Amino acid sequence: MIAYRYGVLTFNSGNDGTIAVVGRFGAAESPAAQSFLDRMQGPVTLDCSQLEYISSAGLGVLLKTQKRLAGVNARVRLVSVRPNLLEIFRFSGFDRIFDIEPAAAA
């Protein structure tokens, strides 16, 4: 596993190609996160089980990444999304843009 840390946000690249997003994804982390995600090619799966918070700036990073990948017929998939974040994705309409898999019920 390779970890990329940006302030209070970490991306952990797993051997299976899934990228775990850990911490808080706010405006301060967005430029570095965008730079990291801009290097991703093909379908991207983000494990959000340890993502605590996402701001509108973080949503913008995900949207920009989705649009870029759609240009090469790929997508961003969000898995293990916590209920509080799932609500944000649904409220913002992102559930119609991304493939989203909620976290398993505890």
Domain count, the chain: 1
Distance in angstroms (rounded) separating the CA atoms of residues 13 and 2: 5
Give me the CATH number covering residue 62: 3.30.750.24
- Strand 2-6 versus strand 18-25 pairing type: unpaired
What global pTM score does this model have?
0.91
- pLDDT tens digits along 45-64: 999 999 999 999 999 999 99
- pLDDT tens digits along 61-101: 999 999 999 999 999 999 999 999 999 999 999 999 999 99
Domain that includes residue 40, residue range: 2-102
